[in-house]
Chain A
C-alpha cells in the first residue's frame, strides 16, 4: 500500500501530475496556487519521468502551450487562479473546438477583477457554462479534500481523453492551502510514442506518416453547415457525459428532511453544519456534486421529491443555485446562502440560514 503523507492540496496536484504520467505542465505564477509549479520545479520530473515543466510568460501563453502539447496527443496541463483562468478562456474555447484533451486547474479566489487572494467559488459559471465563446463545455471536477486533489488529476486526464475534451479541476484556496492526510497514486509511466500513435493516429501531430494523410488540429470551419454538424457532434458528446459520467456524493440523505447542495470547501463546512443541525434535531443531509459539469440533475430531481426544502451553500453570490432550481421536480423552496469576495461561511451561519430561509419561511 502506498505511503500516507501530510501534504498541501497544491503540492499534491503537482505530485499527482508526475505520478499519473503527465507529459507537460505549462504555467504562470498566481496566488493561491503558485506551489503547484514551485513543487514541480523542485521535483525536476524531467529527470525522473521526462515530464516537461515550463514557466510561461503569461496565462495566455501557458494555455496555448498546453494546446500545442495536447495537439500532439500528449497529457498536458496547466494550473492557475481566477484572473489567470479568465485570460485562458480564449485557449480553452480553441481546445474545446479542436477537441483536444487537457487538464486545467483553477484554484479559485474571490473576484471580480483583481479581487482578493482569499478562497471563493465564484468561478462556477465560467467553469461550467463554457467560459469562452461558442457552444461548448468543460468537464468540471470539484474536489473537497486533499485526497481528491490527488485522485482527480488522474481522473481528469482519463475523462479528458475519453471525450477528447478539456477537463477542469475547480478547487479553491481552502483545498489548495490546506494539508490533510493523502495516499498518493502509484506511478504510471508516461505513454510511449507508440502508445500515443495507437490511440490518436488519426488526429495527433507527430510529423506526417507515410500511411496516412496529414493531420490538422484546428477549430476553423468556414462552411456554416459543416460547423453546425460539428456542433451537433459536440452536443452528442455532452449528452454522453451526462449519461455516463456524473459523479456526486450523498451525505446523510437517507432520512433527511432538508438538504444542503454544496461542492468543494463549502460542502466540508456544510458537514459541520449538518452535525450542528442534527444536534438540534433537524434532519439535514448534503448532496455534493463532484462533477459540476455534467451536473447531477437526476439526483436533484429525486431528492427534491423527498425533502421539504433545499439550501445551496456557495462561496459566491449564487451561481450553482440556478442549476439546482432548474432541476427540482417538486414545488419546494430552493434558496441560496453564500459568503463571497474571499469570505468563508461559518457552520453556524449556515444553520441559521437554513432555519430562516427554508424552515421558518
Chain B
C-alpha cells in the first residue's frame, strides 16, 4: 500500500511552521544573503515573546529598506543612518513598546555613526540589529567602513588601501565602551548552530528592553555573495576565513 501525500500533510506530522510574524511576501534578497535568516529569527523571537502588538521596527536605507514588507509589525522607514534617532523619538513617547532598528554597515557605521553613538550613549531602551557584510549591497557593492583591507569593491577596485581609505571599523567594540549599552554581542548565521546562538542573542536583547536595561546591540557578521561576487557557499567560507579574524564572534559586553 503506497503512502499518499494527503496522508503525510497532517497536523500531527508537522515538524516546522513559518512564524505568522513573517508575512507571505516573497523576499527580494539575493539567494545566499543573510538578511532572510536574520528576519526570520527576529520574527520568531517576537512571536515567542508574544510582543507582536508591542513591537515597532525602524528600517534603514540599504538592502533591508523593504524589511517592512516581511515582518508583520508596525514599522517606520528612516532616512539613511537616522534609524537610532527615529527609534529614540518613538521609544521616548512609547516607553512600554519594544523598539528596534535594523541597520546595515553603511547605514550604521558610516552615515549614521553620530546617531548610533549618541543613542547608545544615552542608553535608549532599544535593540539595534547591525548587519555587517563589509560592503554596500543596495547601491552595488561599494566600500563600507567595515570593508577589509585589500578587499575589492566597486570603489576600491584595487583593494582597500589603509592609506587611501583608512581601516576597517570595529564600531561594535567602540559602542561597548559607552555606559549606555547593556549588551553588546557579535554573532553570525552561517550554520544552524550559529543561527541558534544569534537567535538567543536577539531574544536576550528584547528581554533587556522588557527590563528597561538600556541599549542592546547585536552585530551579525553577514555575507553578501552578490557584492563579493562569489557563490553563497564560497561567501560563507570567505567570511569565516577573512571576516571572523577581524570581527571575532561572541559577547563583548553583558551587564
Contact = CB atoms under 8 A, between A and B. Distances in A.
Interface of A: 23-24, 26, 52, 54, 56-58, 60-62, 64-72, 74, 76, 90-91, 94, 98, 205-210, 213-220
B50 to A, nearest CB: 12
Contacts of B97: 206-207
B76 A67 contact: yes
Q: At the interface, is chain B mostly helix, strand, loop or mixed?
A: helix
Interface residues of B, number: 35
B75 interface: yes
B93 A72 contact: yes
A65 B76 contact: no
Nearest to A90: B79
Contact of A64 (B55, B68, B85, B91): B85
Interface string B234-255: 0000000000000000000000
Given A58-B114, A61-B115, A208 B53 contact: yes
B93 A60 contact: no
B92 A54 contact: yes
Given A210-B53, A218-B68, A68 B74 contact: no
Interface centre among B54, B68, B74 (most CB of A within 10 A): B74
Contact of A61 (B75, B82, B98): B82
B52 interface: yes
Nearest to B69: A216
Contacts of B89: 24, 26, 64-71, 76
Interface in B59-114: 65-66, 68, 72-79, 82, 85-94, 97-98, 114
Contacts of B87: 68
Interface centre among B54, B68, B76, B78 (most CB of A within 10 A): B76
Interface centre among A58, A66, A71, A74 (most CB of B within 10 A): A71
Contact of B82 (A60, A71, A76, A219): A60
Interface in B88-144: 88-94, 97-98, 114-115, 117-118
A76 B93 CA distance: 9
B174 to A, nearest CB: 15
